[in-house]
Chain A
């Protein structure tokens, strides 16, 4: 039977929403599911993790060195934890997991499975390649499996559990070659892009950060998170953490608005799991219309304010 260790992503004492989705993937594999919380003070995060349905145990590793998520510091501790008979070590597939998981896999001398989007068995998984244009089914060789989970492919589990929380001590030498300096986070009152049920993204057509106001106004009217294409980010209209796509955020909202976005494959890679896609573009030939459930040809500077006023 599988014994699965999930590494908890967290910040400012809060469990990241992706962990619950990672538990959903682990339930697909089946077996004992444990969550490890490595933190300076893990208690609060561990309590949240213990509530997730399907989790048998939460393991805490308290160490001041774990105050910030530095992969080189966390990896040797996770390697030690993994040696306790685990068949799988899973990471939520955001930048935290993508940075950390390969560092663990290499230490264990195993190939890693990136971005699990479906589970066929304990050793067989689907994952996207070529910006999601080819879905490959891979079979992992014998040995421990280290993987990241593509969060947009899984639905969060319930939070009615009360799993046991156990403190662990790990004896790993931690490196001093990497020093965390700071995080500049964009504080926003809007719903988080990755968990919002509705998202409105703007593209190059917005033309300036001032013009992005029409997107924000509409998003605020419908309670949506706000994203952007790479072109809009590169042009400096919005911060980088708003980029949606192959190399930005992969999202799965109920409703997605692509406004003034042409629909390059790299952008589409980030929105394939959106339930309903609405495209607003002045070019009837724009590729975004090929994937849109609803398309409206028009000038976004007229369409968006009109939508905002009519809702």
Chain B
């Protein structure tokens, strides 16, 4: 049983984001990029499922420009068996990514797609759900526990009210939340081995995906800044200050 794992290259989560002064976007040149943290979790889960014998092959997929190869190499170091680079230099919005991933799912006849629940650049939280919708298959988003048993999966989901459990038939799309697992630390021999694993390059067109008009970003601005507050020295001072503002 094959599993696909989608991995996106994003600005590293530790980077302090700078918005360009002309409002045209955020500074990404010369800034550290990494695999989307939620995709690392999805990747780790796939590897654990393979170690448990639940899946037999892991295929990492990215959609984007040439540098996406770095992210695929990271996925291969985690333990993906091979990778597909859907190469495109344009801006890939979730619906486009979803169409490409849906096509890849079909082409590979994969039984499960593991995604991150959201990419930390666009914070869209859409792609997994869209893939499931396009393929008319089950989705289990925001997963904090995944068990696969034959052609079914039982998934515990982090929802606002608590923990929800769904049982889904495979094929299905599962999106990873933070507490699904803790991704392993990559070791040098695995990184070396990953260099020899195959990456297949295809275009969106090869998969029959055409770009529809997406959302147009007309402006990017920094968030309104909060004015500098005051430091108080004692609990009494704090309580008085809050009382004075009518807050307590």
Interface residues of A (CB under 8 A from B): 11, 70-72, 75, 94-96, 98-107, 109-115, 124, 128-142, 175-186, 194, 222, 230, 233-234, 239-241, 246-247, 249, 254-255, 265-266, 272, 276-278, 289-298, 303, 306-307, 310-311
A-binding segment of B49-57, B58-66, B76-84, B210-218: B210-218
B212 touches A109 (CB 8 A): yes
Known A72-B138, A294-B242, A307-B235; judge A114-B129 contact (CB<8 A).
Answer: no
B117 at the interface (CB under 8 A from A): yes
Interface residues of B (CB under 8 A from A): 11, 13, 16-17, 19, 25-26, 93-95, 98, 117-118, 120-134, 136-142, 144, 154, 157-169, 172, 177-179, 212-223, 226, 228-239, 241-242, 245, 247-248
A136 touches B167 (CB 8 A): no
The CA-CA distance from A293 to B227 in the complex, in Å, is: 8
Q: List 26 A-B contacts (CB under 8 A).
A: A72-B132, A72-B138, A98-B125, A102-B94, A102-B125, A103-B132, A104-B133, A106-B95, A106-B98, A109-B95, A112-B95, A124-B218, A130-B17, A177-B169, A178-B139, A183-B162, A183-B164, A184-B163, A184-B165, A194-B160, A241-B158, A277-B226, A278-B242, A294-B229, A306-B235, A307-B238
B95 touches A310 (CB 8 A): no
A103 touches B144 (CB 8 A): no
Closest to B227 in A: A293
A311 touches B219 (CB 8 A): no
B218 touches A72 (CB 8 A): no
- A200 CB to closest chain B CB (Å) equals 12
Q: Which residues of B contact A293 (CB under 8 A)?
A: 226, 229-230
The CA-CA distance from A177 to B144 in the complex, in Å, is: 20
- B215 CB to closest chain A CB (Å) equals 4
Q: Looking at the complex, which one of A11, A177, A289, A298 makes contact with B172 (CB distance below 8 Å)?
A: A177
Closest to A113 in B: B215
A181 touches B124 (CB 8 A): no
Given contacts A178-B166, A272-B226, list 10 more A-B pairs with CB under 8 A: A95-B160, A99-B142, A109-B212, A112-B95, A129-B220, A133-B16, A177-B172, A247-B177, A293-B226, A307-B238
Known A139-B216, A293-B229; judge A186-B162 contact (CB<8 A).
Answer: yes
B126 touches A137 (CB 8 A): no
Which residue, B132, B217, B230, B235, has most C-beta atoms of chain A within 10 A?
Answer: B235
- Considering the complex of A and B, which 7 residue pairs feature the smallest CB-CB distances, nearest first? A102-B129, A106-B133, A106-B130, A102-B126, A181-B165, A133-B17, A293-B229
The CA-CA distance from A226 to B42 in the complex, in Å, is: 30
A134 touches B247 (CB 8 A): no
B123 touches A128 (CB 8 A): yes
B168 touches A311 (CB 8 A): no
The CA-CA distance from A110 to B231 in the complex, in Å, is: 49
Known A71-B139, A106-B134, A185-B162; judge A135-B215 contact (CB<8 A).
Answer: no
The CA-CA distance from A113 to B166 in the complex, in Å, is: 26
The CA-CA distance from A298 to B238 in the complex, in Å, is: 12
A99 touches B141 (CB 8 A): yes
- B245 CB to closest chain A CB (Å) equals 7
The CA-CA distance from A137 to B245 in the complex, in Å, is: 34
- B188 CB to closest chain A CB (Å) equals 27
- B31 CB to closest chain A CB (Å) equals 11
Q: Which residues of B contact A276 (CB under 8 A)?
A: 242, 245, 247
A102 touches B235 (CB 8 A): no
Q: Which residues of A contact B123 (CB under 8 A)?
A: 114-115, 128-131, 246
- B237 CB to closest chain A CB (Å) equals 8
A94 touches B120 (CB 8 A): no
A136 touches B17 (CB 8 A): no
Known A241-B161, A247-B117, A296-B235; judge A132-B16 contact (CB<8 A).
Answer: no
A135 touches B221 (CB 8 A): yes
Closest to B125 in A: A98
B19 touches A105 (CB 8 A): no
Q: Which residues of B contact A255 (CB under 8 A)?
A: 242, 247-248
A175 touches B138 (CB 8 A): yes
Q: Looking at the complex, which one of A105, A138, A265 makes contact with B95 (CB distance below 8 Å)?
A: A105
Q: Which residues of B contact A102 (CB under 8 A)?
A: 94, 98, 125-130, 133
Closest to A93 in B: B125
B229 touches A295 (CB 8 A): yes
B235 touches A137 (CB 8 A): no
Q: Which residues of A contact B118 (CB under 8 A)?
A: 247
Closest to B96 in A: A111
Q: Which residues of B contact A95 (CB under 8 A)?
A: 141-142, 157-160
A133 touches B222 (CB 8 A): yes
Q: Which residues of A contact B154 (CB under 8 A)?
A: 181
- B196 CB to closest chain A CB (Å) equals 35
